[in-house]
Amino acid sequence: MAIDELLAQFHEIATSPRKQLDKYLAQGKKVVACAPVYTPEEIIHSMGLVPMGVWGAEMEVNEAKKYYPAFICSIMQVVLELGVTGQYKGVSAIVIPSLCDSLKSLGQNWKYAVPDIPFIPMTYPQNRKPAYGVKYTKAMYERVISDLQTATGAQFSGVALANSNRVYNEHNAVMREFAEVAADHAITAAQRNDVFKSAWFMLKEEHTALVKQLIEEMKKTPKDESKVRVVVSGILADSPNLLQIFDKNGLKIVADDVAQESRQYRTDVPDMENSLDALAQKFADMDNCTLLYDRDKKRVGYIVDQAKKHNAVGVIVLMTKFCDPEEFDYVPIKRACEAAGLRHLNIEVDCQMVNYEQAGTMIQAFKEMA
Ligand code: SF4
């Protein structure tokens, strides 16, 4: 398939998750919704269920306002709004991790607001690296397995999980390769995002096959070195209106530290005898994310290193409005960029935002900075 056809396919999937949900339901499959940011998809996949992401929609929130105050991140509000208004009809359950205070409240609100879709909590430990943290993660995975069995009737096996761990590791590797190839070849910010976003609405083995084809086709094209190279960081970077401004100003995303994009693919499940132990160890091994406790804030150095490695002129932080974890990290990122001689920009984003004119002016000024 030609590049344009492949990119059109990624765009179609990224922009029509309901169509994907209906496709899997028509195939007789059961679908489990996965809330941000880290859900143990490997477990869901191994039980013959389809894990499907539920974040990244842009819309006006009405019903969810009955459950939330105005000063909470719009990602949560939109997930609840979609649930309350029946957009996830047909889904067998939703798994909601507890990685920030807003996510904790999403699970509690979900139970009352969307009673027909069972809520399965995934409680992660704050201290994920010591042996007791890994043991706790494993125990919580066992609880998720038990709740999934009750909600769907599907069964769990360690052998099936070992296979799913391999499927996810292969997908991780392909997404990492895609990010590198996209850094040096012609692809717009919006098209790059379509490739990442579509992964949330497809079985990973299907997505892997499609991304592999795209990588092969992209490698045949000449290198694209004419643009202003930037690293993007944040929770989401998927607003079409905002990405258009990147493209209009000739900004090329050469690496990202975005929770919905590359943060998902940095860490593989290690090779261990017990597949559930291995999955718990994967969570312990993860780093460089605002939602993963790290008193040394190594993420800041990681972002600067990515910018240097990819020859970027600077870092653009897309700050989700009312996201406490991300807000805490911004000042250290700004200072580290200044110390490293990198440009930096902070743009506030929100799933209910339609007008990015102010962001457009800021991006244009960022581009023209000497
Ligand atoms: S955007 Fe921030 S506050 Fe909202 S769920 Fe994600 S981490 Fe939590």
78, 79, 100, 352, best to mutate for ligand 1 pocket (most atoms within 8 Å of CB): 100
The secondary structure of 11-37 as a DSSP string is HHHHH-HHHHHHHHHHTT--EEEE-SS
Q: Taking 80 as the threshold, does the pLDDT of residue 56 lie above it?
A: no
Average pLDDT for residues 306-317, to the nearest whole number? 97
Instruction: Determine the pLDDT at residue 352.
Output: 76
Q: Which residue has the tokens 């991006």?
A: 363
Tell me, rounded to whole angstroms, the distance of Cα 113 from its chain centroid. 24
Q: Structure pTM?
A: 0.96
Average pLDDT for residues 249-266, to the nearest whole number? 97
| Residue 253: pLDDT band with limits 50, 70, 90 | very high
Average pLDDT for residues 184-207, to the nearest whole number? 97
Closest CA to 48 of 191, 145, 115: 145
Rounded Cα gap, residues 147 and 264, in angstroms: 24
Q: Taking 60 as the threshold, does the pLDDT of residue 291 lie above it?
A: yes
Ligand 1 centroid to residue 324 C-alpha, Å: 7
Class of domain 23-155: alpha beta
Average pLDDT for residues 174-202, to the nearest whole number? 97
Residue 122 host element (H or E): strand 119-122
Q: 323 CB under 6 A from ligand 1?
A: yes
| Residue 308: pLDDT band with limits 50, 70, 90 | very high
Q: Taking 90 as the threshold, does the pLDDT of residue 370 lie above it?
A: no
316-350 per-position pLDDT tens digit = 999 999 999 999 999 999 999 999 999 999 999 98
* Backbone angle region of 297, left / alpha / beta, with phi > 0 → left and psi within -120 to 50 → alpha: left
ω into 37 cis (within 30 of 0): yes
225: helix, coil or strand? coil
Least confident of 60-69, 89-98, 129-138: 60-69
Q: Taking 90 as the threshold, does the pLDDT of residue 31 lie above it?
A: yes
Q: Are 95 and 122 in contact (CB under 8 A)?
A: yes
Q: 235 CB under 6 A from ligand 1?
A: yes
Kindly give the residue spans of alpha helices, DSSP state H, lying in the chain. 3-15, 17-26, 41-46, 74-84, 101-113, 131-152, 158-184, 189-198, 204-219, 240-248, 275-285, 298-309, 324-340, 357-368
CA dihedral of residues 24, 27, 29, 30 (deg, nearest 10): 60
Q: 36 CB under 6 A from ligand 1?
A: yes
Domains in the chain: boundaries: 23-155
Average pLDDT for residues 172-183, to the nearest whole number? 98
Ligand 1 centroid to residue 75 C-alpha, Å: 7
319: helix, coil or strand? strand
User: Which residues, 6 or more positions from 8, have their beta carbon under 8 angstroms from its beta carbon?
Assistant: none
Rounded Cα gap, residues 348 and 329, in angstroms: 14
Average pLDDT for residues 242-252, to the nearest whole number? 93
| Residue 227: pLDDT band with limits 50, 70, 90 | confident
264, 320, 329, best to mutate for ligand 1 pocket (most atoms within 8 Å of CB): 320
Instruction: Determine the pLDDT at residue 343.
Output: 96
Ligand 1 centroid to residue 318 C-alpha, Å: 13
The secondary structure of 321-338 as a DSSP string is TT-HHHHHHHHHHHHHHH
Q: Taking 90 as the threshold, does the pLDDT of residue 140 lie above it?
A: yes
Query: What mean pLDDT, rounded, does the chain reach?
Result: 95
39, 71, 72, 73, best to mutate for ligand 1 pocket (most atoms within 8 Å of CB): 73
154-170 per-position pLDDT tens digit = 999 999 999 999 999 99
The percentage of the chain sitting over the pLDDT mark of 90, rounded to a whole number, equals 88
Q: 102 CB under 6 A from ligand 1?
A: yes
